[in-house]
Amino acid sequence: MSLVTQEIIIMWALTGASVAIMAFRLIMNVSRRRRFDMGDYCTMAAIVTLLLRSSVENVPLVWGNNQVKDRATTTFTPQDIYRREVGSKLTMVNRVFYTVYVWLQKCVVMCILQQLFQLGTEGHRFLHTYWAILGVTFLGSIVSCFTECQPFQLYWQVVPDPGNCGAGKIQLFVFCILEMVTDVMLMILPLHYLSKMNRPWLARLRLIGLFLVGLAIVAVTMTRLIMNVTNYQRSGASHNIANIELFFSAFVANAPPIYGLINAKISSSTQRSRSTNNAAPSATAGGWQLDSMTSISTPSKLQKADVEQWNGITVTRNITVTRRTGEADSDEELIIVRHHGDVEDRRGGQR
């Protein structure tokens, strides 16, 4: 198996894994009967962008680009020149899609942070600043894709030798620095908030761990940067590291909401099971119908005035009926998953 074939297989395997993670998050949202929010729409856009990026990247991998190691001993036919020019142009498109995808995942994390600070008063002043920083760093990364080669056609020129500007060393350096800065930035704010939560320390550690996974992206990005600083041209190993970076971006951005959705699903199933076991048998008395989805709580000691016989059925005059209009949300889900206006009312009623 050739090196190019291996790189294509690795690229599509990690692309498929990333799409599966993002699709699972959306499917879980649908199963919970939740309306899509901005984070979900960013996830959809990230799926499309990632598939486009991987499709575009196939051509430079197979046809090559204008960065040739053994240029002195290489003879370029007209077909070789055409293919490498097309590959070089699509390499630029690939860099744009790559940047858009990574920053879309950052927007997903930002949407999680917005939900975090809806439950408290701290941090609201930072949100607008964070969005502004994301916008500025995104524009900086995009601009760096098109400013390294002067004149511009050197990006895809094959002959004569265009030099090394098409390798995008400066672009990669700018991208990696901005990505690591924003990744650390997106971890600091939630960690500061979660560390001060009035929650059991084990619950706080679980939530903090979800955001600390972002350190994996920083490590992968640093590795990719070091590899390309020591090797002037982007190698096959660097290409594989880039695909790993895309996978970790999907995992880090979607791990908190997936965790919350799964945890809430388990909690809801447990509550339904308990409700079914403790439910009163169906009975009809004087127009009142009590079904298995109605939870009735009565005092442990009833006074005679509170009890009466009605058509042979012992009932209380004062009963508390709690009807579940929707599945309960876990504490973790309230923190990291978008919730509707009735959540707080239901949480307050349960307490």
Domain boundary among 268, 295, 330: 268
The pLDDT tens digits of the residues spanning 133-144 come to: 999 999 999 999
Identify whether 275 is part of a domain: no
Average pLDDT of the chain to the nearest whole number: 77
pLDDT for the residue 265: 67
Do 308 and 205 have their domain in common? no
Higher model confidence: residue 338 or residue 161? 161
Question: How many structural domains comprise the chain?
Answer: 2
Do 151 and 287 have their domain in common? no
Do 299 and 229 have their domain in common? no
Do 236 and 125 have their domain in common? yes
Contacts (Cβ under 8 Å, ≥6 apart) of 81:
158, 159
Identify whether 27 is part of a domain: yes
In the structure, what pLDDT confidence band is assigned to residue 72 with cuts at 50, 70 and 90? confident
Identify whether 263 is part of a domain: yes
Identify whether 38 is part of a domain: yes
Do 174 and 148 have their domain in common? yes
Give me the CATH number covering residue 219: 1.20.1070
The pLDDT tens digits of the residues spanning 157-196 come to: 998 889 888 888 899 999 999 999 999 998 887 777 777 7
Query: Could you list the residue range(s) of the whole structural domain that residue 31 is in?
Result: 3-268
The pLDDT tens digits of the residues spanning 93-123 come to: 999 999 999 999 999 999 888 877 665 555 5
Do 85 and 190 have their domain in common? yes
Of 16, 14, 38, nearest in space to 257 by CA: 38
The pLDDT tens digits of the residues spanning 10-26 come to: 999 999 999 999 999 99
Is residue 343 classed exposed, middle or buried when 0-12, 13-18 and 19+ CB atoms within 10 A define those classes?
middle
pLDDT for the residue 16: 97
